[in-house]
Structures are given as structure tokens and as C-alpha cells.
Amino acid sequence: MNKQISSDQIKNVLAGITIPPQPQILVDLQMEQAMPNPDIRQVADLIAQDVGLSGSILKIVNSKFYDLTNQITSIKQAVEILGLECIVNITNGLSIKGEMTDEKVVSMSRFWDSAMDVAMVAAKIAKHIGFQAPDIAHTLGLFHNSGIPLLMQLDPSYLNIVENSYTGISERIIDCENSHMNTNHAVVGYYVAKSWKLPTELCEVIAEHHNAEKIFNSPHFQNYDSYKKTLLAILKMSEHLCCTYRVLGGQSEDFEWQKISVGLLEYVGLSPVDFVGLSDEIIEMGIGGENYYAH
């Protein structure tokens, strides 16, 4: 997605799809963030106006993934401790569901629950491997499949296409979508993230998140940006541990993970035994494992 794409090409990719507008609270937060001396109180006041959003943020920052010594009881405390950028990233991720107004999309509880699980596991893995921005990993987890509900609005049979894409028959998951839709959820998700002014690296990882086999296995990608490659690795580990292949694809095996696991784990410095231990920790949290599909 580094190549410049013309406006006509963008129109073709997004034909019939309406990108949800960036919520006003995010516009206001980004404006405050751009100030020479951002006012933490102003940021806290903006977020506090949305009770649901405030509650969700406090739930996340008080979770075991941030492992804070004392419980955070106010948004102001959260901003002071975690920092403005971290809070804005969390807010970005949490806002995506609220902008999906179609009743069928909002009712996709399994999809939204899966996105939340992937986000939380991504934050945990980021901390586990020493990645410097677990909040970015969390936002990526929430946003990476944001193109799926938008494509579902476009075509009621789209979820069947998604299930077929996970069968391992196609080279990449997105190839099945491309053949049926002339676009795919990774590309649409990229434009959602870009229109919401999310960090450029995060947008590009969303666009590439089903090109992982080339990025981790091909010698041509040895010099691929290390920040993006690590983010992508975190996301693919999280998807596998959260059984995305079952939840969205209805499959008993993760064919994509089978293709990338050796190169990916070598890249992040985890042995297969290390990864099994990490998987056990995730299962203890109630995510993944044999019975997760019922969840």
C-alpha cells in the first residue's frame, strides 16, 4: 500500500461501500493532541462526555494487560498514567463498532467479541515480547478486520465468502474475496483506518495482514520495516491464539498459521515451546483452546 493510488482506483475499490466518518470525539482529540501543549484535563473532559466510551476505556486500562499497581478510577488518571497518545489509540479502536449503524452488523456479536479478544491478546503479546507500543497493537487488533462488516453491508452472502476463504484452497485468504468482490476486507480496512487518521504504519499493516506468508517467508522481504513486521507478527499470533480461523472461518485448522508460524516465531525470537507456554496463558484467561468456538 506504499504505492500512490489514483482517486479513480480508490472509487473502484470502494464501489458501493460507505466508509463511516471519523467520530467527532476523535477529531477533537486529534486537534488537542496536535497542540504544542495538549491539555490533559480537556482530553479527559472530552472523553468523559461519552459514558459508554469512558467505561470501556477504564475497563481496558484496569485489565491485566496493563498490569497497573493501583486501579484507575477516572479518565484523567488514565491519561496522566498511560499518556495522551495511548488513550487516543484505545479510543480509536473502541469507536469503530459505534460507527457501524446497520442492525445486522451491530448484531454480529461473535465478530465484535473476536475483535476485542484479538486486541487484548495483541496487547499482552506486545508486552511479552517487549514491543514498545502495546496500545498500537491493541488498536490494530480492534481495527484489522473493520472491512468485514462494511463488505457484509454490501453483500448479504459475504460471510459465506469469508468462510470459504479460510479453507486453505486459495493461496491467501483475501484471494477468495478478490475473485467474488473485486476487493477485500484488508484493503477496505486500510481505507477506514486511513480516513480516521490512524498511524500510517498501522494502516499499512492492516492492508498487508493477509500477505504474511510473503513477509515472513520470502527472502525479498528480509528488509521489510521492522516496526510493521513486528506489529504484523503480534497480530497473526493473536489471531491464531483467538481461533479466528474457527470464529470467522468455521475451520478446524489454521491453514494460514501453518504457512507462516516457523518464520514468524523465529523473527520474534520465540521457540515453539515458548509459544505453547504463551498459548496456555491465553487459555487461562478464557480465550482460545478447545472450547473457544462455543464462546
Structural domain spans, the chain: 24-98, 102-294
pLDDT band of 3, cuts 50, 70, 90: very low
Tens digit of pLDDT for each residue in 166-221?
998 888 999 999 998 888 999 999 988 888 888 899 999 999 999 999 999 988 88
- Considering the entire predicted model, what is its pTM? 0.80
CATH no., domain 102-294: 1.10.3210.10
pLDDT one-digit tens code per residue, 110-129: 777 888 889 889 988 998 99
DSSP H stretches of helix in 17-170: 24-33, 40-48, 51-61, 75-82, 84-98, 103-106, 109-128, 134-143, 147-154, 158-165
More confident position, 100 or 184: 184
Residue type for position 272: P
Distance from C-alpha of 272 to C-alpha of 36, rounded to nearest angstrom: 46
Tell me the CA distances in angstroms from 203 to 7, 200, 262, one per residue in order.
Answer: 18, 5, 25
